[in-house]
Amino acid sequence: MGIQMGEMKIYILALLMLATMIQSSWGQVRKPKTLDELVAYTGADRHQILVEGAKAEGKIVWYTSLSGVYRELVDAFKKKYPDIAIDVYRGGSTDLGPRLLNEAQAGRFVADALESTPGLLMLLREGKILKPYTSPELSRYPDEAKTKADGGRVYWVTDREAYLGFGYNTRLIPAADAPKNFQDLLRPAFKGKLAVTTESSTSRVIGTMLKFKGEEFVKRLHGQDVRLFKASSAGFLDLIAAGEVAGSPVVFQNQVIVKKERGAPIEWVPLDVAPTNAGGSAVIANAPHPHAALLFTEFVIGAEGQKLMEQFRYGVAWKDYPFKREYPERGMTSAEYEKAEDKWLQLTRSLTKRQN
């Protein structure tokens, strides 16, 4: 009986060893290689696999609507991974959308990764141009920063934010008199002193006012003689700094910070909420260089990429700020958002007086 028990123990031990060897061998054989496998892989060797695969692929093609900081992101990535070249195509969302859709329809896949704004990302998600992915870097981000897909993956994650609030010339509006909320914009002291732009940021602020204060409140702004300027957000801020406009509720905080550092007499305060213009990082379906696509995306949403975003005065989604964020497009389809933007634009035009 003792011999039988001993033999049984040896037999069981041999089976366990064999199972371990098979499992190890299977794991070695089944290293992820395709995009489908890579976007879902969570093994401890994930980063090593991405680096080695990206080096073998040799390059990444990145489409982006970022300005300024995109060069620094590219340079930092190339410094860290000198064996991986980066081809960058930069354009506005109205340029990137048709380009990506046309490439997909033609079966000519060029782009690997994308960084752009939610309107374009929603359109591409609905067109099945985006590939949901997972990443260990996602753990730092709150749920509201992730546009989720199945299986714990995301279509994109918010990698940068710019906050809209009341920007004003401190020589024309003392800090004590600056508005603290939307309601304050109706104060008689602000009549004839406020202005907005034809940029989409104005429409997003109007849409936010509609949500939080209602249409009747927004229509009352007509009595404040709000001027409408055809100018970029940066050009419009120049008008405020020069004193041609006293203040506006459609000013980006990050642009004010930069201007203040250069000595401009301007300041920024949030109102009830801060409408937020966000940018997100996504992976393109059928990416020709899948390892590089994921490696670069993880660089942008990781510590090094996020540090660069902050250096350019962008907010980051995983930090808390002393105001509440509002994302006007959240929960909408691209068609719904387009329709809403058109409504907000028409309302803006009805409330304002065109200047140039």
DSSP 263-304: T-SEEEE--SSEEEEEEEEEEETT-SSHHHHHHHHHHHHSHH
Q: Is 57 left (phi over 0), alpha (psi -120 to 50) or beta?
A: alpha
DSSP code of 23? H
Mean pLDDT score, 236-242: 97
pLDDT in tens, 256-268: 999 999 999 999 9
Q: Is the pLDDT of residue 101 over 90?
A: yes
| Residue 156 and residue 167 in one domain | no
pLDDT confidence tier of residue 158, bands split at 50, 70 and 90: very high
Sign of torsion, CA 241 247 248 249? Answer: positive
The answer on pLDDT for 299 being more than 70 is: yes
**Does the pLDDT of residue 20 top 70, yes or no?**
no
Residue 24 lies in a domain: no
Beta strand 226-229 with 113-116: parallel, antiparallel or unpaired?
Answer: unpaired
3-state helix, strand, coil in the chain (%, to 5): 50, 20, 30
Q: How far apart are CA 242 and CA 164, in angstroms?
A: 20
Q: How far apart are CA 279 and CA 186, in angstroms?
A: 32
pLDDT level of residue 356 (50, 70, 90 thresholds): low
Residue 100 in any domain: the answer is yes
Nearest to 186 by CA among 131, 226, 144, 244: 226
Q: Confidence band (pLDDT; 50, 70, 90) for 136? A: very high
Q: Where is 165: in which H helix or E strand?
A: strand 154-169
What residues make up the domain containing 248? 162-276+336-354
CA 211 to chain centre: 22
Q: What is the mean pLDDT of residues 117-133?
A: 96
Q: How many domains is the chain partitioned into structurally?
A: 2
Q: Is 26 a member of any domain?
A: no
Mean pLDDT (the chain, rounded): 92
Higher pLDDT among residues 67 and 243, named by residue: 243
Say if residue 140 is in the same domain as residue 262: no
Let me know whether 246 and 284 are in one domain: no
Q: Please report the pLDDT score of residue 31 as a whole number.
A: 84
Banded pLDDT at 355 (limits 50, 70, 90) = confident
Residue 121 lies in a domain: yes
pLDDT, residue 288, reads: 97
